[in-house]
Structure 1
Amino acid sequence: MDVAIKKGRKFDQVLEGAREVFLKEGFEGASVDDIAKAAGVSKATLYSYFPDKRLLFAEVARVECERQADQVMVLIGTDIPADQALRMAGERIMCFLTSQLGITVLTLCAAESKRFPELGKQFYESGPGLVSERLTRYLTEAVEAGQLKIDNIPLAADQFAELCKTRIFARILTGVQTEFSDTERQEIVEGAVDLFMARYGA
């Protein structure tokens, strides 16, 4: 998996087509033919950018994780109460984790990370690692603004992210459950915010 990605004029086009197919078919069901067709490129062009389907999937996942994280930072800030900001962040984490792409990323990385360590490393850096970095940035600002009282901010950021995965993470990883109702998602996020604010509210 440690292969350099070649950028070019149709790179973004290929990524968008791949994202569309991966969301619809999952990793195993997504064929190179279907991805090339959705992207409007030839198979030769696709392979010139991504010689391995796992590499393409990892890049789609990385871009999507960054997009979700950027949206969180746009939504949250110290101009709104901390519990409201955390609820928005929690909803974004939950939205991605329970999406078709999020579930596919998680299960694929769990299955393939031993054979392809670079895949697991890239997922961590663009997924959980990025979420932790963005939450740490927000929590630092919230502490400085007097909204929260936290001694170990990086630890608190990881704690909040883990609270947002309560119950669903193990169920997704083991294939026990792959669809979650709005009520289930809201219950978990609300519980995460309540527990976090009870511990760290100023």
Structure 2
Amino acid sequence: MPQQASSKPAVRPTASPGRPKDMAKRAAILAAAERMFLRHGYEGVSMDQIAAEAGVSKLTVYSHFGDKEALFAEAARGHCEKQMPTSAFDPDPAVPLRERLMTVGRAFFGMISSPQAIAGHRMLCTPQMVEKRLAQLFWESGPQRVQDKFSAMLERRIAAGELRIDDVALASSQFFALLKGEAHQRLVFGCCERSELDPDTQEAHIAACVDMFLRAYGRPR
């Protein structure tokens, strides 16, 4: 009888398990990849170009990341981690809930409104990125990780009796959707520049989003 084709997905190449990797070179590769992807798009950049930009060999790039998709995903994860480090979701229960939400809100709005983020958003909306499922890869490596960390923070506050939320994942996505608001759309559409956003208006917008979230899900002590 003919053998059935395996339904398992192809195994993606991974970095070789040889000697310990040079973390300085890894950081240089990630920084170069982020610049190049934003400047030229995913299709407009080769691994050779990223290696040259980082000042390393192409073999070194493959040794660290395996392939271009893996490098793209790691660059997305690294960008989100730099803009919204784990400390933004500090589990310290002594920090008042509203203060913690404001910290997260400021970090998130600063991240999504940066020129690099706006350029990246536009790139991800191109047909080529959608067809290759790279937009999905970016989402899982970056924004989804941020939402997961925020959801974990919400779970801790629910356990402490400060919040009452039936669907934590939904509440998490609602919080970040509120923060994007009209300003993010205007930036993406080119209707205004980041420098035109008034700091006081930004702070008022973030505070209004936090207060709306707390009215919906907060519990009085």
| Residue 5 (structure 2) aligns with | none
Cα distance in 2 for residues equivalent to 1:173 and 1:84: 29
CA pair 81-101 structure 1, distance change in 2 beyond 3 A: same
Secondary structure in structure 2 of the residue aligned to 1:78? coil
Cα distance in 2 for residues equivalent to 1:73 and 1:101: 23
Cα distance in 2 for residues equivalent to 1:105 and 1:79: 36
User: Which of 39, 42, 46 does residue 27 from structure 1 map onto?
Assistant: 39
Matches within 5 A, 1:130-149: 130-149=145-164
CA pair 92-54 structure 1, distance change in 2 beyond 3 A: same
Q: TM-score, normalised by structure 1?
A: 0.78
Structure ID, larger Rg: 2
User: Which of 144, 151, 156 does residue 171 from structure 2 map onto?
Assistant: 156
1:36 deviation in Å? 3.6
Q: TM-score, normalised by structure 2?
A: 0.72
Contact 1:69 1:130 in 2 (8 A): no
Contact 1:36 1:46 in 2 (8 A): yes
Q: How many residues align?
A: 199
Contact 2:151 2:169 in 1 (8 A): yes
Cα distance in 2 for residues equivalent to 1:12 and 1:168: 37
| Residue 131 (structure 2) aligns with | 115
* Residues 1:191 and 2:208 aligned together: yes
User: Which of 5, 21, 35 does residue 9 from structure 1 map onto?
Assistant: 21
1:90 deviation in Å? 0.8
Which one has a larger percent helix, Structure 1 or Structure 2?
A: 1
Cα distance in 2 for residues equivalent to 1:147 and 1:198: 12
Contact 1:21 1:35 in 2 (8 A): yes
Cα distance in 1 for residues equivalent to 2:172 and 2:120: 22
Cα distance in 2 for residues equivalent to 1:169 and 1:3: 35
Cα distance in 2 for residues equivalent to 1:113 and 1:31: 13
Runs of 5+ consecutive residues of structure 1 not aligned to the other structure = none
Comparing 31-40 with 103-112, greater Cα deviation is found at 31-40
| Residue 71 (structure 1) aligns with | 87
CA pair 105-183 structure 1, distance change in 2 beyond 3 A: same
Comparing 15-24 with 107-116, greater Cα deviation is found at 15-24
Contact 1:164 1:189 in 2 (8 A): yes
Paired-residue identity, %: 27
CA RMSD across the alignment:
3.2
1:34 deviation in Å? 7.0
1:186 deviation in Å? 1.9
1:77 deviation in Å? 3.8
Cα distance in 1 for residues equivalent to 2:63 and 2:105: 38
Contact 1:77 1:85 in 2 (8 A): no
User: Which of 112, 131, 148 does residue 97 from structure 1 map onto?
Assistant: 112
Deviations 1:166-185 (A, max 9, x none): 11332243333341533343
Contact 1:26 1:100 in 2 (8 A): no
Cα distance in 1 for residues equivalent to 2:24 and 2:120: 20
CA pair 185-25 structure 1, distance change in 2 beyond 3 A: farther
